[in-house]
Amino acid sequence: MEPTVSFFSGFTLNDLWFLGEAALRTMWISALSITIGTVLGVLFGWVLYEGKWIATLTVAPFLDIFRSVPLIIQLVLFYNFAPIVGLNLDPFASGVVILTIYTAALVANVARGGMEAVPAPMRRAARSLGMTYWQDLRHVVLPIGGRAVFPAWVGVALGVMKDSALVSVLGYVELLKASQILITRTQEPFLILTLAGAFYFALSYPISRYAATLERKWAQ
Amino acid sequence: MFDYNFHWRPVMRSLPDLIDAAFLTLQVAVLAMILGIVIGLCLALIRLHKTGPLLWLASTWVELARNTPALFQLFFFGFGLGAFGLHLSPYMIVLAGLTFNCAGYLAENFRGGFQAVPDTQVRAARSLGMTAWQTYTRIVIPQVFRIVYHPITNQMVWAVLMSSLGMLVGFRELSGETQFFASRTFRIFEYFTVTAVIYYVIVKIILGASRLLAMRLFRY
């Protein structure tokens, strides 16, 4: 019998390299979105905290939309909306934009919670000691409120890192997309998915444990 | 301003189909939540009271569910299990994935809830002659339920949002159906806009219903 030609080939060391590169891309897109998103989110959180009803009518519903619509729909929508207004964004840029706003929407709530966690008398005390409004924010609210919501922020950041897998729908080859490509070729779904999952786990688990330890230590 | 003609008519024509698909989304999410609550409760109790292989199994489940992307979990149920000759239908993939994820997240919430009920109450109930089952169903669970009510509501919202990932495993719930129509008509932006609105409405209905229910349940 003639040896049959197979379209499939086994899993090689090269493929491991391919997965590793994809993992770096996952980390890069998450790090970028989380960093910018956190800065924006704290800003939004401050607006929500100080803005009273004006913010409640403007910023809050806007952020609410990003929390109430699936991320995957947001990504597809933005990716197809950008060319309509004449923006030509590649999958990476679209992914970063949406992940950033998504992060900001989640962090805004966390940040507002942190500001509300600082007792009002403490802030009044800071002001009566002669601190300016910004000094009070920087030296009183940031350390105390930040500490109160740090674990929640870690949760949000890890969530965004995991959700960055969805950027694959736009064709950006991050870890999960790379594993799909490899699965199509090697037909070894179990091995490759396990590798991809192990990477996410190895990144997420120690950080979440560390945050939980910190939370316990600070609670004492 | 826009170099694009919006065509809403095909979307409006398939709106009944989209609404049907939305009910399918809701159905999967509700089923996954019911299963998730039952399994999550078991996992939480195991993690609190048992040792040995059972504890190891429960801990692994919870940590895996919380530290890997939901999309990865869906892929695993979809393609990973194929390696063992187990081929699930798209409906089952989404249901299994969502249940796995929800159970993991809810287990942690339940554990926190159980730890918040003082041990002395259990001892008091037992010394009044209640059986362990009575103590749990009449003393502990009602109090835990109050604590985890809001996390459960949030998880329900997450379940609806997460079910949109069904689109990527060929399940035709709201997102999958939208994708199907969008690729048939190329009105991607219009279709996904309408879908985003439907998701938003679903989420608002869930949150509103939960608030009403809370007012009736927690009057005292």
Nearest CB neighbour to A193, from listed B75, B199, B200: B75
Closest C-alpha to A176, from A7, A5, A26? A26
**Closest residue in B to A160 (Cα–Cα):** B69
Rounded distance between C-alpha atoms, residue A101 and residue B215, angstroms = 33
Q: How confident is the model at residue A8 (pLDDT cuts 50, 70, 90)?
A: low
Interface ipTM: 0.88
Domain that holds residue A169: 20-219
Tens-digit pLDDT profile for residues B94-145: 999 999 999 999 999 999 999 999 989 999 999 999 998 999 889 998 899 8
- Residue A154 has a pLDDT of 94
- Residue scoring higher pLDDT (A1 or A187): A187
Q: How confident is the model at residue B206 (pLDDT cuts 50, 70, 90)?
A: very high
Is A105 part of any domain? yes
Inform me whether the pLDDT recorded for B49 exceeds 60.
Answer: yes
From the number of C-beta atoms within 10 Å of its C-beta (0-12, 13-18, 19+), residue B2 rates as exposed
Closest C-alpha to A209, from B71, B108, B147, B150? B108
The average pLDDT across B9-35 equals: 91
Q: What is the DSSP annotation of B75-129?
A: HHHHTGGGGGT----HHHHHHHHHHHHHHHHHHHHHHHHHHHS-HHHHHHHHHTT
Q: A72, A102, A164, A181: which to substitute to probe chain B, counting the most B Cβ within 10 Å?
A: A72
The average pLDDT across B5-12 equals: 82
Inform me whether the pLDDT recorded for A103 exceeds 70.
Answer: yes
Residues 6-35 of A with CB under 8 A from B: none
Q: What is the mean pLDDT of chain B?
A: 90
- Residue A191 has a pLDDT of 87
Lowest average pLDDT, out of A21-25, A116-120, B186-190, goes to: B186-190
Q: What is the mean pLDDT of chain A?
A: 89
Where do the H-state alpha helices sit in chain B? 9-13, 15-49, 53-67, 70-78, 90-116, 119-127, 132-134, 141-162, 174-185, 188-217
**Which CATH number belongs to the domain containing residue A186 in this structure?**
1.10.3720.10
**% of chain A at pLDDT higher than 70:** 96
List Cα–Cα distances, A89 to A62, A78, B1, B24, B104, in angstroms.
22, 10, 18, 33, 37
Tens-digit pLDDT profile for residues A45-96: 999 998 878 878 888 899 999 999 999 999 999 998 888 888 888 899 999 9
Residues 33-72 of A with CB under 8 A from B: 65, 68-72
Three-state SS at A190: helix
Nearest CB neighbour to A201, from listed B64, B71, B192: B64
Rounded distance between C-alpha atoms, residue B78 and residue A199, angstroms = 19
- Residue A7 has a pLDDT of 61
Task: Write down the CATH number for the domain with range B28-217.
Answer: 1.10.3720.10
Domain extents in chain B = 28-217
- Residue A1 has a pLDDT of 55
Where do the H-state alpha helices sit in A51-132? 52-57, 59-68, 71-81, 91-117, 120-128
Tens-digit pLDDT profile for residues B139-182: 998 899 899 999 999 999 999 999 999 999 889 899 999 989 88
Is A1 part of any domain? no
- Residue B217 has a pLDDT of 85
Residues of B in contact with A72 (CB under 8 A): 164-165, 167-168, 175
The average pLDDT across A9-36 equals: 89
DSSP state of B46: H
Inform me whether the pLDDT recorded for A107 exceeds 90.
Answer: yes
Q: How confident is the model at residue B83 (pLDDT cuts 50, 70, 90)?
A: confident
| Contact between chains at A189 and B83 (C-beta distance less than 8 A) | yes
**Domains in chain A, number:** 1
Is A54 part of any domain? yes
